[in-house]
């Protein structure tokens, strides 16, 4: 095999490493992974079990951050993750120490995940999605192709980011988002139904966002109205907690 595996790299059982791939020291790869040709895995990378890495992917390269001073940091890839062609996932910085990709996530071709990002479980980032540093993405978030997000933004669970959207503010949970700059365009109704949310939950989510985006209220006023007029529930409180902790502010509604 014309590949290079450092003798101090730790590979689990049934790991397949194909031609011209390079695996450096201080790399840990779990069981039953497939590393296709021309993959580069740098020191500090941790990969779970049952992952597939396609040609041209580069994992664990140092951050593209001028403040990076060579500090030790890692990339942590979960289980059952698929990373397609020419995707890059950079190491963390001293800010958090790591970049994370959760279980059962798919990163399609040419995706870039910058330093200190945290991607939750069961996410899909379609082709050429680009994430700047320090972005937090919750579980079950889908990005359409050619979309991007500004550094330090947060994207709530079960959101759908339409292709070509550019995120500059935080995206609350359960939203459908589109345009540049990204704007609220409704709730992710199809995704919520597929995920097993009840009709009552979906109606509650719609009611909450009518106050947040549809009544001409500012965010503080909308939150107060929701607390006063919509019965407490898990989905209501998930949205309110996210909005209250949105340090960059949240996206706006469609004009």
Query: What residues are labeled active site?
Result: 115-116, 133
**Per-residue CA distances from 157 to 48, 170, 240 (Å):** 22, 12, 13
Q: Which of 247, 249, 253 is nearest to 178 (CA)?
A: 253
Residues whose CB falls within 8 Å of the CB of residue 152, separated by 6 or more in sequence, listed in order: 133, 134, 135, 247, 248
Report helix, strand or coil for 87: coil
13, 1 contact by CB (below 8 A): no
**Distance between CA atoms of residues 158 and 238, nearest Å:** 11
Write out the two tokens for 12. 């689990």
Residue written as token pair 């199809």: 190
Q: Is residue 112 a contact partner of residue 130, using CB atoms and an 8 Å limit?
A: yes
């Amino acid at each position: 095999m014309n590949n290079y595996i450092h003798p101090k790299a730790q590979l689990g059982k049934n790991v397949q490493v194909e031609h011209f791939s390079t695996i450096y020291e201080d790399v840990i790869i779990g069981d039953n992974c497939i590393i296709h040709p021309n993959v580069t895995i740098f020191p500090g990378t941790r990969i779970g079990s049952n992952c597939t890495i396609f040609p041209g992917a580069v994992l664990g390269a140092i951050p593209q951050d001028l403040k990076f001073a060579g500090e030790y940091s890692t990339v942590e890839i979960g289980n059952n993750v698929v990373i397609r062609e020419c995707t890059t996932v950079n190491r963390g910085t001293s800010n958090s120490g790591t970049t994370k990709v959760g279980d059962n996530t798919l990163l399609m071709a040419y995706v870039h995940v910058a330093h200190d990002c945290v991607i939750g479980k069961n996410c899909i980032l379609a082709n050429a999605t680009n994430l700047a540093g320090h972005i937090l993405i919750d579980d079950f978030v889908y990005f359409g192709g050619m979309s991007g997000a500004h550094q330090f933004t947060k994207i709530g669970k079960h959101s759908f980011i339409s292709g070509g959207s550019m995120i500059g503010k935080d995206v609350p949970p359960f939203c459908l988002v589109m345009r540049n700059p990204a704007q609220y365009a409704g709730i992710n109704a199809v995704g919520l139904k597929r995920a097993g949310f009840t009709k009552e939950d979906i109606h509650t989510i719609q009611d909450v966002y009518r106050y947040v985006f549809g009544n001409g209220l500012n965010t503080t006023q909308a939150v107060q109205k929701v607390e006063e007029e919509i019965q407490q529930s898990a989905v209501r409180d998930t949205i309110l907690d996210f909005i209250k902790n949105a340090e960059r502010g949240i996206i706006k509604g469609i004009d």
